[in-house]
Amino acid sequence: MAFAVTLFSSWFRCQESYKDNKGRWALRYTQQDSLWKKMDYNAFLALNGTMKNNPAMQMIWGVTNHRAFDLAAASWMVFLFIIYLVRNPRNEDRAEIVQFGIYMTVTLLLVIAISELTIHFQRLSPTQTAGLRERAVLLTDLKDRVTWKVKIGSNNSFPDDHATVLLFIGSYIIYRLRSWYGAAAALGIAFFALPRLAGGGHWLSDIVAGSLPFYLFFFPLCMFRPIRERALAGLKIIFCSVQSRMNRSCG
């Protein structure tokens, strides 16, 4: 947790506040160069630069920056969970697996709400930033290839909610399912987080200084044994009660 606070603080010290064109307080880098600023600019230009004169990469980043691709990320994690539930390789009580899935979902919704209330800042994404927008390949300009609606910019990019969700779900799966399911979830976290960086919807620091510290602070709390076991015990009581009522109605 101390590392999470240190990571966020080191980034925050490089920011200055200002009022955007709608009169809202927002953050941007100070005029002085910093390691965070160099990392953000270089990461965006490197990933976005893969589209220059490269129709294949333009199509790949175009498809993966479609809003529906967010559903693909969630579907991948759900798919892994369902496959594990059906195959049940360790011969576990399937009810307990489902209960963990519910615990995972409820805590995820809770931490997203906390994130919205605590560390969300108005911040222009790379494609909305003067000096970078002119140097970038904008997916919206590739109308001959990318004919669908894509997300390439944001006025409140910090933190990356998409990456936050991936970190939490992926870590739950790695912890609970293990084996190749965990490896597939870890690969999914990296794969599904990259498109928004290449398209310019988010900075790398939106993840490294935003989503990651938030995850490092709250995920251990979600997995804190007394909290987790009490929550799962409560879910088990509910499951048994529902199952008992269903058995009586069938009888």
Contact (CB, 8 A) for 75 and 192: no
Residue at 129: amino acid letter: T
Q: How many CB atoms lie within 10 A of CB 218?
A: 20
Enter the pTM of the model.
0.87
pLDDT at residue 251 above 60? no
Predicted confidence (pLDDT) per residue in 41-80, tens digit: 999 999 999 999 999 999 999 999 988 888 888 889 889 9
Residue 43 lies inside a defined structural domain of this protein: yes
Q: Is residue 127 part of a domain?
A: yes
How far is Cα 85 from Cα 95, in angstroms, rounded to an integer? 9
pLDDT at 247: 65
Contact between 15 and 36 under an 8 Å Cβ cutoff? The reply is no
Residue 100 lies in a domain: yes
Taking all residues of the chain, what is their mean pLDDT, rounded to a whole number?
88
Q: Which residues contact 247 (CB under 8 A, 6 or more apart)?
A: none
pLDDT at 178: 80
Domain that holds residue 100: 2-7+36-250
Q: Judge whether 123 lies within some domain.
A: yes
Residue 116: left (phi > 0), alpha (psi -120 to 50), or beta? alpha
Backbone φ, ψ for residue 19 (5° rounding): -100, 125
Q: Find the mean pLDDT for residues 111-115.
A: 90
**pLDDT number for residue 64:** 92
Give the whole-angstrom CA distance, residue 190 versus residue 173: 15
Residue 60 is predicted with a pLDDT of 92
Which range, of 125-129, 130-134, 181-185, 238-242, averages the lowest pLDDT? 238-242
d(CA 49, CA 135): 9
Q: Of 8-17, 202-211, 225-234, 237-246, where does mean pLDDT reach its minimum?
A: 237-246
pLDDT digits (tens, 9 = 90+) for 209-235: 999 999 999 999 888 888 888 888 887
97 belongs to a structural domain: yes
* 223 belongs to a structural domain: yes
26 in a domain, yes or no?
A: no
DSSP string, the chain: -HHHHHHHHHHHTTEEEEE-TTS-EEEEE-SS--HHHHHHHHHHHHHHGGGTT-HHHHHHHHHHTBTTHHHHHHHHHHHHHHHHHHH-TT---HHHHHHHHHHHHHHHHHHHHHHHHHT-B-B--GGGSTTTGGGS--GGG-TTT--S-B----SB-BS-HHHHHHHHHHHHHHHHT-HHHHHHHHHHHHHHHHHHHHHTSS-HHIIIIIIHHHHHHHHHHHT-HHHHHHHHHHHHHHHHHHHHHHHHHH-
What's the domain count of the chain?
A: 1
In the numeric block, the tokens 């669908």 are attached to 148
- What pLDDT, on a 0 to 100 scale, did the predictor assign at position 35? 92
* Assigned domain for 17 exists: no
Q: Contact, 51 vs 137, CB < 8 A?
A: yes
